[in-house]
Amino acid sequence: LDEDEFGGRRAMGGASGRVPLGIKRKRLRVLVTGGAGFVGSHLVDRLMERGDNVIVVDNFFTGRKDNVVHHLGNPRFELIRHDVVEPILLEVDQIYHLACPASPVHYKFNPVKTIISFYFLSHVWFSRKFHKTNVVGTLNMLGLAKRVGARFLLTSTSEVYGDPLQHPQVETYWGNVNPIGVRSCYDEGKRTAETLTMDYHRGAGIEVRIARIFNTYGPRMCIDDGRVVSNFVAQALRREPLTVYGDGKQTRSFQFVSDLVEGLMRLMEGDHVGPFNLGNPGEFTMLELAQVVQEVIDPNAKIEFRPNTEDDPHKRKPDISKAQKLLGWEPVVSLRNGLPLMVADFKQRIFGNQREDVG
Ligand code: NAD
Ligand code: UDP
Ligand code: UDP
């Protein structure tokens, strides 16, 4: 076991590509779709650090050039502005397919507080974009993988379990999804992407991997995309009340982004198709999360209750025994240790160089 930069202990030369000193590995050509986004850009950092050639394909819908700007100019790095809904010809060994309009504020727009026609218009627009990316975009990336013989990894989501009737969720659980609800474009879009991935695997012999990612947070997260961790952290820094939806007793499990990236790389390099749950089994109610944010950022932060969104899952917690056993992976960063790691980044992006005295 060796000590890594995130303070965790991981197996030497494990599936993540940390090769023991002195052993050379082939330099890979790796495509990361959605690589200018939150998770994608951290993955790109690790792949670049490993010495690979990395191509990022991103349409900057929710991603930002800033997230990868530090690699521009490196001859091993290439950034292509492209929408995966359109076909593309590239020569690569591995494809991490992350491209997805992942920001929930769009699909969970709260109709109670919004002009109804705007809600429907924006929702229909978003739902179409979502399905095109998840269905046509995934199909194109699988077609590319087939043509060049690349290994393909899909970043699916815990949302495929819907409002789960099994707790914690195991990969064999088929889920409880409302096919006609406001969240279904996300849930069903990803479920279709999983189906396509398995069909190309069985039908065309593509090497595939499927990750089901649970709520993830960390630096470079979108500040105003409406997710609970980014909302609470930004609100505490701006000295605004923390908005708890519903009674705040619903639960989620929050994973720090470096743990997820390690899991994705182990999955890609390993021998198992999956699906694998990648998440932190620590389960928190939204009220508990608000308390941790108070402890970490501002003990005086107030809590304000707001109506909850439709079809909000009551509970979510991953069973990660499969990933522990087959990938030798488990998260090492707790919520209390991870939250402070995103505060500096959020402060910088919210306040820039202005003076502020919070945290
Ligand atoms: P993100 O929005 O930061 O990143 C997604 C990236 O995809 C963005 O850079 C966006 O511009 C790009 N993109 C969107 N549509 C595209 C298109 N049609 N063509 C090209 N690029 C496109 O989101 P993230 O949190 O980094 O999520 C990455 C992946 O992980 C997504 O597939 C998401 O569904 C999955 N996931 C994330 C979480 C989480 O908590 N962050 C949880 C479950 C699953
Ligand atoms: N595709 C792509 N890049 C490639 C190969 C394929 O974007 O290098 C797209 C292609 O345009 C098609 C999709 O992937 O829309 C599925 O390709 P496949 O060969 O599986 O099916 P077909 O072309 O027969 O529809
Ligand atoms: N939530 C909240 N306050 C906020 C934003 C979200 O209480 O400001 C709640 C939301 O209702 C849900 C949970 O936090 O129960 C997680 O929401 P998020 O959008 O982050 O993730 P997802 O619902 O996709 O798991």
Predicted local confidence at residue 183, as pLDDT: 75
pLDDT for residue 126: 72
Q: Which ligand is nearest to the CA of 183?
A: 3
143 C-alpha to center of ligand 2: Å? 4
Indicate the pLDDT class of residue 93, thresholds 50, 70 and 90.
very high
Tens digit of each residue's pLDDT (9 = 90 or more) over 99-156: 998 655 544 444 343 344 445 556 677 777 778 899 999 999 999 999 999 999 999 9
Q: Which of 186, 200, 217, 245 is catalytic?
A: 186
At 94, which helix (H) or strand (E)? strand 94-97
N-term to C-term CA, the chain: 35
Q: What is the residue with the minimal CA distance to atom 3 of ligand 2?
A: 144
Q: Is 217 a catalytic residue?
A: no
Atom of ligand 1 nearest to the CA of 64: 9
Which of ligand 1's atoms lies nearest the C-alpha of 225?
A: 2
* Comparison of pLDDT for 19 and 60, the residue scoring more: 60
Residue 193 predicted with pLDDT over 90: yes
Q: What is the pLDDT of residues 287-345, one digit of tens each?
A: 999 999 999 999 999 999 999 887 788 889 999 999 999 999 999 999 999 999 999 99
* Cβ of 205 less than 6 Å from ligand 2: no
> From the CB of 244, is ligand 3 less than 6 Å away?
yes
Cis upstream peptide for 299 (omega within 30°): no
| DSSP tag of 26 | P
Q: Say how many residues make up the chain.
A: 359
DSSP secondary structure letters along 219-255: TT--SSS--HHHHHHHHHHTT--EEEETTS--EEE-E
pLDDT of residue 111: 39
pLDDT at 354: 62
Tell me if 46 sits within 8 A of 261, measured CB to CB. yes
Predicted-assembly ipTM surpassing the 0.85 threshold: yes
* Lowest mean pLDDT segment, chosen from 28-37, 94-103, 243-252: 94-103
Q: What is the model's pLDDT at position 8?
A: 32
Q: Which ligand is nearest to the CA of 126?
A: 1
1 has pLDDT over 70:
no
pTM as predicted: 0.91
- Asked if residues 28 and 52 have their Cβ atoms less than 8 Å apart, the reply is yes
